[in-house]
Amino acid sequence: QKEVEQNSGPLSVPEGAIASLNCTYSDRGSQSFFWYRQYSGKSPELIMFIYSNGDKEDGRFTAQLNKASQYVSLLIRDSQPSDSATYLCAVGGSGNTGKLIFGQGTTLQVKP
């Protein structure tokens, strides 16, 4: 079992729809959870982080964390073609070791 798992996609949604990206992790002691966006040929950039169970909203983005289910998700409302990218889930290990493990990423395609 991979430490951090994501569906590679592609996930295709029409412009204006909600895109839902999911991630599961295996280390039950994980403390921190991040979503990075990576455009083709570019380096990843942080878009959201969440540490506590529940929802965290930032503009059109909402991160959701359920530690009991070892599940973290990212919702993108009013999806735009510029949101088309690969979204990488990253999980910090237990004990705040600092080591971040990334999933393989989900490719999102927003069609005009």
Residues 29-68 as x/- pattern, contact with other proteins by CB under 8 A: --xx-x-x-----xxxxx--x-x-----------------
Element (H, E) at 51: none
70 to 109, contacts with other proteins by CB under 8 A? 88, 90, 92, 96-105
Of the chain, the end-to-end C-alpha distance in Å amounts to 37
Query: 94: helix, coil or strand?
Result: helix
Look up residue 84 and give its DSSP letter. Answer: -
Query: Which residues of this protein are in contact with other proteins, per CB under 8 A?
Result: 6, 31-32, 34, 36, 42-46, 49, 51, 88, 90, 92, 96-105
